[in-house]
């Protein structure tokens, strides 16, 4: 039996749609390892070659099981990180996932510690409980707090800012005792905070929140991105929103920023040309006069 032209077209559309939908669902589980070199004259000799593993937006919940969190932890540990940084949004929409996610994250292993901030989801679901579980399970709280990390006689500063849903972000809590020659890392869940960062003392900012756009046109442009107030805007065309969507950028002459695509998803729980990732950032010291 021959099909009419209109019926054939409809079948092609339905089959194509089903294939794309299936692929987009599978892509949410296809975690990639992204290796990035962070080069700076301010990186001390003792930190040259040290590896930071950045993970954000796990969103443990109905769409991302505890078993997947466990597998994520094992994969991170297999990378033998020197430092682990968690960028927030550990859970999705219910506080019943807070204790289980940290029961798995407590098994993270790194040579020099695990540092983290809360994300907007954590803050408006139950920021107090999330913070308690984070600290109880071995994650150093970087919400408007900071720490000097020392190796031999060298030190770097690691700090962060609180999410606007949980308080007022204060970068001064990190940079107050930092000198221009120090290497300073600032964790901010939302990358748009970079626009308000009025300091030349921060060398590297680390963020998540955007999910890399989650659904993109072949990794080049995302039609839906979070706005500065935390909502997700359709047909996002502004330069700044796309600039801070994903990847390594030079956000100022003295500062680099890395925005990860994260692990989990928001509704719809699909990804297209925007795989979830574990980012491995290798610190590379540039000698004075070097390139």
pLDDT in tens, 133-150: 999 999 999 999 999 999
Amino acid 58: pLDDT? 98
Amino acid 241: pLDDT? 64
Q: Could you give the domains of the chain? A: 25-285 (3.60.21.10)
Mean pLDDT score, 73-97? 97
Compute the distance between CA of residue 261 and CA of residue 115 in angstroms, rounded to an integer.
Answer: 18
Quickly state the pLDDT bin for 198 (edges 50, 70, 90): confident
The crossing angle, in degrees rounded to 10, of helices 120-136 and 98-105 is 50
Summarised one tens digit per residue, pLDDT across range 208-262 is 999 999 999 888 888 888 766 655 665 555 556 688 899 999 988 889 999 999 9
**Which tokens go with 288?**
């004075």
What pTM value is reported for the model?
A: 0.92
């Amino acid at each position: 039996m021959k099909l009419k032209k209109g019926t054939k077209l409809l079948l092609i559309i339905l089959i194509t749609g089903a294939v794309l939908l299936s692929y987009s669902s599978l892509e949410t589980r296809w975690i990639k390892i992204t290796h990035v070199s962070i080069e700076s004259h301010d990186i001390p000799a003792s930190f040259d070659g040290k590896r930071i593993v950045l993970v954000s937006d796990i969103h443990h919940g109905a769409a991302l099981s505890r078993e997947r969190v466990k597998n994520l932890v094992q994969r991170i540990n297999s990378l033998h990180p020197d430092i682990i940084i968690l960028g927030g949004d550990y859970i999705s929409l219910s506080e019943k996932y807070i204790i289980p996610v940290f029961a798995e994250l407590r098994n993270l292993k790194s040579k020099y510690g695990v540092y983290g901030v809360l994300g907007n989801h954590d803050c408006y679901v139950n920021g107090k409980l999330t913070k308690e579980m984070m600290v109880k399970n071995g994650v150093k709280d970087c919400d408007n707090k900071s720490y000097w990390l020392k190796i031999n006689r060298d030190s770097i500063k690691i700090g962060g800012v609180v999410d606007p849903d949980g308080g007022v972000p204060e970068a001064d809590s990190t940079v107050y005792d930092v000198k221009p020659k120090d290497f300073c890392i600032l964790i901010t869940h939302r990358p748009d905070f970079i626009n308000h960062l009025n300091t030349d003392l921060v060398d590297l900012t680390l963020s998540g929140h955007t999910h890399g756009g989650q659904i993109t046109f072949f990794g080049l442009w995302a039609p839906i991105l979070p706005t500065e107030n935390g909502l997700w805007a359709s047909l996002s065309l502004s330069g700044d929103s796309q600039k801070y969507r994903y990847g390594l950028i030079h956000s100022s002459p003295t500062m680099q920023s890395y925005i990860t695509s994260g692990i989990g998803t928001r509704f719809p729980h699909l990804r297209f040309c925007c795989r979830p990732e574990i980012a491995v950032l290798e610190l590379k010291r540039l000698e004075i006069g070097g390139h």
